[in-house]
Amino acid sequence: MQVEKINNGSEWCMQFSNEELYKYLITKFDGNLDVIIRTLSDDEQEVEITSNIPIQFICFDGDNQDLFISFYGNQTSIFVKDEELMFIDESTKGTYTTSDTFQNVVYEGTLRNLTHAEMLTLFAEVITCFIGGIEVEIIEKEVPCDKQYKQYDYYKPHSYEINVKNNNLDRKKKTFENITINY
């Protein structure tokens, strides 16, 4: 696996292989009839999971593309109903500006201390909250900068409450650091 370098010489923490994507993310949805998996390259061509072509996007709703994840090495984003949830490698977070993160949900947890299996499991748990979602409402609140929420040079941390409208009779709530999802 080739790993790209960032300015400070450290490796990006979210450079996943196709095998890792299959083993720790895609298989989490085996047997879920509401999920139609499509794996795509960076030019949005279908890619077999066993291919040597790196997977850039995984769609969880077939051709609709209302629920998908994209991988950039230093950032992984989950898109749901045109809303973006950003998971940014904290070694590059200081270079992000308010315009990069504006109207996007930014995960403030630490990723670099997680294994690839743990990160991909986290992403699977977040995606699970949006399966069958019809509408998404995001409530953003500024949070004070302290030990839990670091102030970056170019943007401020927030907490987010995401309300997912779906047909679930049994409503659930999950919290991922500064993101709470009601679904």
Within a 10 A sphere around the Cβ of 90, how many other Cβ atoms?
A: 16
pLDDT at residue 149, rounded to an integer: 60
Mean pLDDT, range 71-100, rounded to an integer? 92
Distance, in Å, from the CA atom of 13 to the CA atom of 99, rounded to the nearest integer, reads: 23
Predicted pLDDT at 116? 97
Average pLDDT over residues 95-121: 93
Output the pTM of the full model.
0.89
Task: Break the chain into its structural domains and give their ranges.
Answer: 18-182
Give residue 142's pLDDT band: very low, low, confident or very high (50, 70, 90): confident
Q: State the residue for tokens 């085996």.
A: 30
CA torsion sign for 15, 68, 104, 118 is: negative
